[in-house]
Amino acid sequence: MADEKPVGGGEVIRWDFFISYSPADQLWAEWIAWQLEDVGHRVALQAWDAVPGTHLTTKMREGVEFSLRTLALVSAEYLADSYGKTEWQITYNSDPQGLLRKLVPIRVSDCVIPDILGQIASFDLFGLDRTQARDRLVANVEAAATGRAKPLTEPDFPPNALERLKPESPPIRPDSQLLDVERKISIKKPRSTISADPVAIFVPLQIETAGFSSDGLILACGTEEGSLFFSRKDAPSRDWLAAPTGAIRLPERAYVESISFKSSSAIVAVGCLGEAPTLWDVSDIRSPRMICALVSGDGDPTDYWSAVFSSDGQFILVSNDPAEIWDVSDPREPSLVRNLGVRGGSTIAGSPRWTTFFVGGRDSSEPAIVRINGFDTERSPEVFRLLRTRGQKGLEVHSADFGYRGDYAIVAFEKHVELWGIGYGGPPNFLQEFDFPDGTGFVRCSPVEDIISVTSSNSFWIIRRNREGRFELVEIPCTWKPYRTEFTPDGRRLAAFGRDPYIRWWDVVSFRRYFRRDG
C-alpha cells in the first residue's frame, strides 16, 4: 500500500484504481490488478491489501475515497452482493454525472447491468483469451483516464463500401423510376503514427517556453525576443493549425521564462526575466488583452523570473525575492497572500495540492522544497535545503516539476536529475538520481501518470515509475533532439520544442514499448 496520509480533510490520491468485486470473482480481481500494476498503475485490492488485523469496512472506504477511479467487476454475484453495491454507490455519488469517469463497470460474466449502474458505459472481459482480455483492459482504462478512445492510426476503410453502390436486389416501388446515380468515393491513404519528425506548427522565432490551456485548445509559445505566439484548435479532436494565428510583442521585449494558463479559462500568466509577471486574456487569440501586472513593491525587479498557476487557477506562484503567492481568483484585482520566505530563483514549481513548492535556479538561488500550512501567515514555511541534505553545493538548477499525485518532485541539476519523495510530515526524502554527463535540459511530469520527460544536450529521455515504485530511465531514439517539452493536458501527447522554430509531437503511448514488460 502507498504511504500517503490525508491532511486537513483534503483529498489525497494514493491509487489509480480501487477494484470492487464479489468474492466469487476474486480470480478476476487479482488478474486485473496484476495487469494494471504491470503497466505502471497503482491498485487497491482487498485480497492483497486487507491483511490480518485490518478493519475491512475502513479499508473499503479508504480504497474508494483515495483512488482516482473505482473498477466495478460486474457479475450476477456482484449485483447480489451488498458490499459491492455500497462500494459502487459511494463512487457514483461522488461523480453522479460521470464527468470525471470515476466509476468504470467491467462485465466479467454475461449478465444484465440494471438501474443506474447500467447507464454508465462499460466493457466486457469475458469470452476472450488472455491476450485479448489484457489488451482490452489496458486500452479501456487508459480511455477512462484520458476521456477519449480515438485510435492512434486511421481506421480501416469499410470493406463493403463499393458493394453498397450496387445492391444485388435494389428495392423498387411500383410507382418509382430507376435513376442512374453516379457516386464517387474518396479513399484516403493511411496516416502514419505521429512521431517526433513530422512538423506540426511553425513559429517564426526560436521557442524558449510553451504552455497549453486546460482544455487543450490553446497553445502559447514564448521566445527570448519577448514575443508570444498563439494557436487554437476548434475542438480537441482537431489538429493544430500549420502556423500561429495570434501574436504579441511584450513591451520590454524581455526573455519569456514561463507560460502558465489559469484553469478552465483563456487567461495566461507570462513570466519574463527581470520584468513583473503579467496576466493576459487570450480568449480571442488574434487580439490578446493584458489584464494586469503582479507587482508587490518588494524586492528588486531583476529578481522576477517565472509565474505558475495553481491547479485550480485560484492562486499563482511568482518568482521574486522572496517568492510570493497571489490570489488571482479575480484576475482584475489580484492580491498578495503571503511569501515563502526564500528567494524564488529562475525555477519554481508547485505541487498539485498547492502546499509544497520548489524554488531554485540558474541564478545561484539555493534549491529548496518549501511546505506551507495553508495560508496561515502566522506560521513560517518549512524550508528544506536540498544541497545541504546531500552535502552538495554550488549546483545550478535547470528545471523542476512535481508528479501528478504530488508525492515526488524531480529536479534537473547541471549534469544529473534527482527525485525526492514528498510526504505529509517531515523533510523530503531522497529517492533516486540519474546522471547526464553531457548536461541536462528540462524535465516535465505527465499530468495523468508517472511518466517524466527529460531533455539533455544530445538526447531525449523518459523516466517511468514501475510497479515496485522505482523509477526507470530509457533513451528515446529520434533523429532530432528537443530542447524542452510540454505534455498536453490530457497526457496523450508530448510537444517538443527545439533550437529551431518548429514544434514536433510524440504520442505518449509509444514510449511504453521501450520499457521492460515486467517493469
Written as nine digits, the cell of 50 is: 486487507
Q: Are residues 305 and 403 in the same domain?
A: yes
Q: Are residues 113 and 255 in the same domain?
A: no
Q: Are residues 336 and 449 in the same domain?
A: yes
Residue 22 maps to which CATH number? Answer: 3.40.50.10140
Within 440-489, residue ranges assigned H as helices are none
Burial 423-461 (b: 16+ CB within 10 A, else e): ebeebbeebbebebeeebbbbbbbbbbbbbbbbbeebbb
Q: Are residues 111 and 260 in the same domain?
A: no
175 vs 71: CA distance, rounded Å: 57
In a domain, 460, yes or no: yes
Q: Which of 124, 146, 168 is the last residue of a domain?
A: 146
pLDDT (0 to 100) of residue 99: 81
Q: Which of 104, 120, 146 is the last residue of a domain?
A: 146
In a domain, 10, yes or no: no
In a domain, 318, yes or no: yes
In a domain, 285, yes or no: yes
DSSP-derived 3-state class of residue 33: helix
Q: Are residues 102 and 206 in the same domain?
A: no
Query: Which residue ranges in the chain fall short of pLDDT 70?
Result: 1-13, 151-154, 156-205, 234-244, 251-253, 297-303, 362-365, 375-377, 388-394, 499-501, 516-519
Q: Are residues 369 and 509 in the same domain?
A: yes
Q: Are residues 125 and 264 in the same domain?
A: no
- How many C-alpha atoms does 350 have within 13 Å on its Cβ side? 24
Q: Are residues 245 and 393 in the same domain?
A: yes
Number of domains in the chain: 2
Measuring CA to CA, which residue among 372, 292, 305, 290 is closest to residue 339? 372
Q: Are residues 351 and 488 in the same domain?
A: yes
In a domain, 48, yes or no: yes
The residue range of the domain holding 74 is 15-146
Instruction: Kindly report the number of other CB atoms within 10 A of residue 31's CB atom.
Output: 17
φ, ψ of residue 272 to 5 degrees: the values are -130, 150
In a domain, 369, yes or no: yes
Q: Are residues 370 and 452 in the same domain?
A: yes
Residue 306 maps to which CATH number? Answer: 2.130.10.10
pLDDT (0 to 100) of residue 231: 84
User: Do 72 and 105 form a contact (C-beta atoms < 8 A)?
Assistant: yes
Helix axes 82-94, 56-65, angle to 10 degrees: 30
139 vs 465: CA distance, rounded Å: 19
In a domain, 46, yes or no: yes
Measuring CA to CA, which residue among 263, 193, 181, 258 is closest to residue 221? 258
Q: Are residues 27 and 103 in the same domain?
A: yes
pLDDT (0 to 100) of residue 486: 93
Instruction: Kindly report the number of other CB atoms within 10 A of residue 217's CB atom.
Output: 18
pLDDT (0 to 100) of residue 506: 85
What torsion do the CA atoms of 296, 300, 304, 308 make, to the nearest 10 degrees? -30
In a domain, 130, yes or no: yes
